[in-house]
Amino acid sequence: MDKTILELKNISKSFGGVNALKNVSLNIEKGKVVGIVGENGAGKSTLMKIIVGALQPDSGEIFYKGKRVTFKTPLEAMNSGISIVYQEPNIFGDMSVLENLFLGNEELSKFGKINWDKMYENGKNALSLVDLPEDILSKNMNELSIGNQQLVLIARGVSQNCEVLILDEPTSILSYSETETLFKIIKRLQEEGVSILYISHRLEEITRITDSVVVLRDGEVTTSMKTEDVTEEKIISAMSGRTFNMDVFRKRDLSDVPTLIKVDNLSHRDYYSNVSFSIKKGEILGMYGLVGSGRSEVARTIFGDLLSSGGEIYFEGEKINNHDTKSAVERGIHYLPEDRGVQGLFNIHSVKYNMSASFIENFVGKFGFIDRKQEVKAVDDNINKYNIKLHSMDAKITSLSGGNQQKVLFSRWLLKQPKLLILDEPTRGVDIATKSEMHNYIMNLASEGVSILLISSDLTEVLMLSDRLIIMREGKLVGELNRDEFTEENVLRLSIGLQ
């Protein structure tokens, strides 16, 4: 028993009548990496916040190194050795890396003066733990890449004699190589005896770096198992209480099908150059690349939201260079943007308003008035068809879970049947059950003859759904693979530039 460093006993927490956590008990041993998985809203983040004292449990006890503890703030927990790094980097961009490292924990000398020399020394040591060079200490946080910002926060977490480190979806914003660095650091910390709680949506990461996995569903621990015993199906059914067919791909014969869109040497001064590809009717073309590789910009050009500086786009044989979004939609080109919050949601408005936004004109009756009955009916049909969970279509969109919000945006574009549907990161930040549902919808659309350009940095997703795959790196198309050539290794090699 002396191997246990952190023990949770019957933790419960409710928010206004909703049980976020029900009698959760957990044991974390020294030097182990424990993966925590669960759908959005399963209670993962709440549980982590309770451990570090950002929230107080309604009942239950936490034992740390055998002693009962109640932390009042995350800072208090951190000083005792339990640190948390949140999903979105919590940074002060205009302050230096050094200041960010010691925020709220500055080294003080007599009379409350900040002891910069000592802090610099400590900062250097902290950064060496995460393989960052010391000369960035004086840089502004904003000058670092998001990945390095995340690493600085981890350094902040582990610098204070950390014994338990909580990482909340650390890789969701990291690139491939940054993720690799993070994994190396996790391994090293583990060897030094630090226990790590690792929250993630990505099963391949969970199976790679954890020793055991705990699955949460609706605030309860449904399964906890050794990582050796983990299979994707087991995890998913534990998460959702249902079983899923992961193999959604359906083979269709596309040999005699005409080409729908042909992109020829498309270029943009700032974002990409000489991009050429074509998509057949009913084909799913995957586009893989890291954030910033120009993939979204190519999509937005086809949709008419960005102007190209060279090259041509042919749609159904017709040249459609630099058309606008309105005529794109009239032609049947629909685009689900990458960033749900910034580019998709009207967050103070209802589900109904959010769903009908792109096609309000379709519901216009006499004198430009909106025909409410027609609108309600169309929205209602979509809610049923895509199994969106809500109390009412007049509820605010923000009251829905992330997965359901994404379904609303996805089905917004299906109020009218598109010819080409461009999906930009359609399942980012979406729980696995919803993801699997959406994969089915995408496959169904393709079977109905809708062409799909699927942009994703989720490798499993593009490999699973695409008929063909193109890979972008630094604004250029660096490769094209047919389905029979699909392997993770092939794709990753191309996307990071190994030959």
Partner 1 sequence: MALLTFGEALIILAGKGGIDISVGSMLSLAGVIFGLAMSNGLGMFGSVVIVIFSGLILGAINGILVSYIGLPPMIATLGTSYAYSSLALYLTGGVPISGFPEGFSVLGQENTLGIPNQVLFVVVPIAILTYLLASKTSFGRKIYLAGTNDEAAKLATINTRKLRLYLFTYSGILSSIAAIIMCSWLMTAKADAGNGLEMKAITAAVLGGISIKGGEGNISGVILAILIITIISSGLQIANINAILELSILGIVLVAVVAIDNKFKKRIKA
Question: Considering beta carbons, is residue 310 or 341 the nearer one to partner 1?
Answer: 341
Tokens of 210: 């954890």
Question: Considering beta carbons, is residue 259 or 343 the nearer one to partner 1?
Answer: 343
DSSP 3-state assignment of 90?
coil
Tokens of 475: 């604004």
Say how far apart CA 466 and CA 486 lie, in whole Å: 10
- Indicate whether 357 belongs to the interface with partner 1 (CB under 8 A): yes
Say how far apart CA 138 and CA 352 lie, in whole Å: 49
**CB-CB contact of 363 with 410 (8 Å):** no
Question: Considering beta carbons, is residue 22 or 349 the nearer one to partner 1?
Answer: 349
Q: Which of 364, 376, 478, 492 binds partner 1 (CB under 8 A)?
A: 364
Question: Considering beta carbons, is residue 198 or 303 the nearer one to partner 1?
Answer: 303
Contact code string over 397-416 relative to partner 1, x by CB under 8 A: ---------------x----
- Indicate whether 363 belongs to the interface with partner 1 (CB under 8 A): yes
The size of the interface with partner 1 (CB under 8 A), counted in residues, is: 29
> Minimum CB separation from partner 1 for residue 61, in Å?
27
> Minimum CB separation from partner 1 for residue 329, in Å?
5
Say how far apart CA 22 and CA 93 lie, in whole Å: 38
> Minimum CB separation from partner 1 for residue 221, in Å?
30
**CB-CB contact of 314 with 261 (8 Å):** yes
| CA–CA–CA angle 38, 39, 43 (5° rounding) | 65
> Minimum CB separation from partner 1 for residue 434, in Å?
21
Q: 357 CB contacts (<8 Å, ≥6 apart)?
A: 346, 412
Q: Which of 109, 231, 322, 347 binds partner 1 (CB under 8 A)?
A: 347
Question: Considering beta carbons, is residue 28 or 454 the nearer one to partner 1?
Answer: 454
Q: 151 CB contacts (<8 Å, ≥6 apart)?
A: 130, 131, 132, 178, 181, 182, 185
Q: Which of 104, 348, 484, 499 binds partner 1 (CB under 8 A)?
A: 348
- Indicate whether 349 belongs to the interface with partner 1 (CB under 8 A): yes
> Minimum CB separation from partner 1 for residue 363, in Å?
7
Cα separation values, 426 from 226, 340, 469, Å: 31, 9, 16
> Minimum CB separation from partner 1 for residue 325, in Å?
5
**CB-CB contact of 460 with 474 (8 Å):** no
Question: Considering beta carbons, is residue 317 or 365 the nearer one to partner 1?
Answer: 365
Cα separation values, 4 from 35, 223, 390, 415, 431, Å: 16, 19, 41, 54, 30
- Indicate whether 154 belongs to the interface with partner 1 (CB under 8 A): no
- Indicate whether 215 belongs to the interface with partner 1 (CB under 8 A): no
Question: Considering beta carbons, is residue 270 or 330 the nearer one to partner 1?
Answer: 330
**Can you tell me which residue has the tokens 């690349």?**
289
> Minimum CB separation from partner 1 for residue 185, in Å?
35
The dihedral formed by the CA atoms of 351, 354, 355 and 358, expressed in degrees to the nearest 10: 170
- Indicate whether 369 belongs to the interface with partner 1 (CB under 8 A): yes
Q: For 258, which DSSP code? A: P
Say how far apart CA 351 and CA 344 lie, in whole Å: 12
Q: What are phi and psi of 9, to 5 degrees?
A: -125, 120
> Minimum CB separation from partner 1 for residue 279, in Å?
21
Question: Considering beta carbons, is residue 222 or 343 the nearer one to partner 1?
Answer: 343
- Indicate whether 419 belongs to the interface with partner 1 (CB under 8 A): no
Residue 294: Cβ within 10 Å count: 23
Question: Considering beta carbons, is residue 111 or 367 the nearer one to partner 1?
Answer: 367
- Indicate whether 481 belongs to the interface with partner 1 (CB under 8 A): no
Antiparallel, parallel or unpaired: β 259-268 and 272-280:
antiparallel
Give residues 287-346 in contact with partner 1 (rule: CB under 8 A): 303, 305, 324-326, 328-329, 335, 337, 342-346
Task: Give strand ranges (E) for 39-77.
Answer: 59-64, 67-69
Question: Considering beta carbons, is residue 111 or 369 the nearer one to partner 1?
Answer: 369
- Indicate whether 189 belongs to the interface with partner 1 (CB under 8 A): no
Q: Which residues bind partner 1 (CB under 8 A)?
A: 303, 305, 324-326, 328-329, 335, 337, 342-349, 353, 357-358, 360-361, 363-364, 367-370, 412
